[in-house]
Amino acid sequence: MNLLQGRHAIVTGGGRGIGRAIAKTLAGAGAKVTILGRNQAALDRVVSEGDAHAAAVADVTDPDAVQAAVQAAISWHGPVDLMIANAGSAASAPFLKSTPDVFRQMLDVNLLGVTNVTHAVLGSMAERGFGRVIAVASTAGLKGYPYVSAYCAAKHAVIGFVRALALETAKTGITVNAVCPGFTDTDLVAESLERIMAKTGRTREQALSELVKHNPQQRLISPSEVADAVLWLCGEGARSVTGQAIAVAGGEI
């Protein structure tokens, strides 16, 4: 399938989980894919195993590092057509134990991580009259969950950013959207299950049941399902879809 032949995609947080699934899917559709992340070994592994074409180390909270990584990617594969802002982090604690530093951390990674990479590519997209900016948000950007107030606040902010920028760029050939997965079968969720088991003494099955109880399908989302939603948004058939927050959550939203 060559749906994206000739396109250059950057995927942040591309070393594992949803980011790697997106990189693999876009590469399979013909795009040249550059992944960004903080773990050089993980990034190199994705490239060596054929799920991306190139990688650059960058902390998405550092705008200078992001600019440098994007410029390197451009030197390898040309201007960026598709920016998938996937890098993120989640902190869990009751609100009264969620310090201002926790809120700042969640906003730095989950919101500014999106705006930094968007700043790095948007001007060139507008000049060329084409671009796709896609933020991997969360159902936590569309509803509340207990004990993750800082994470929910940051993901809600991402949705607001997407809706505003979509209107600002509506006449430029650029679309700006968010994909909002529910709990997804990734290393991060596996780590959450381990924490639940350690704190509560529950079995893995019981802990998993707690995580998926809000999903009417009663299951974890597959990273490939999120990647397929991103692929559709990258295509010409989605050129009128902008400012949307698309839930991939089994009917939870």
Residue 51: name the closest of 62, 60, 59, 42 by CA.
42
Average pLDDT over residues 147-163: 97
Strand order in the sheet with 54-57: 54-57, 32-37, 8-12, 82-85, 131-136, 174-181, 245-248
Determine which one of 13, 82, 121, 151 is catalytic. Answer: 151
> Which residues lie closer than 8 Å to 171 by C-beta, 6 or more apart?
none
CA 73 to chain centre: 18
Tell whether the model's pLDDT for residue 252 goes beyond 80. Answer: yes
> What's the pTM value of the predicted model, to 2 decimals?
0.95
Give residue-wise pLDDT tens across range 35-71.
Answer: 999 999 999 999 999 999 999 999 999 999 999 999 9
Distance CA 198, CA 195 (A): 5
Give residue-wise pLDDT tens across range 16-36.
Answer: 999 999 999 999 999 999 999
Decide if 147 is catalytic: no
Distance CA 118, CA 162 (A): 10
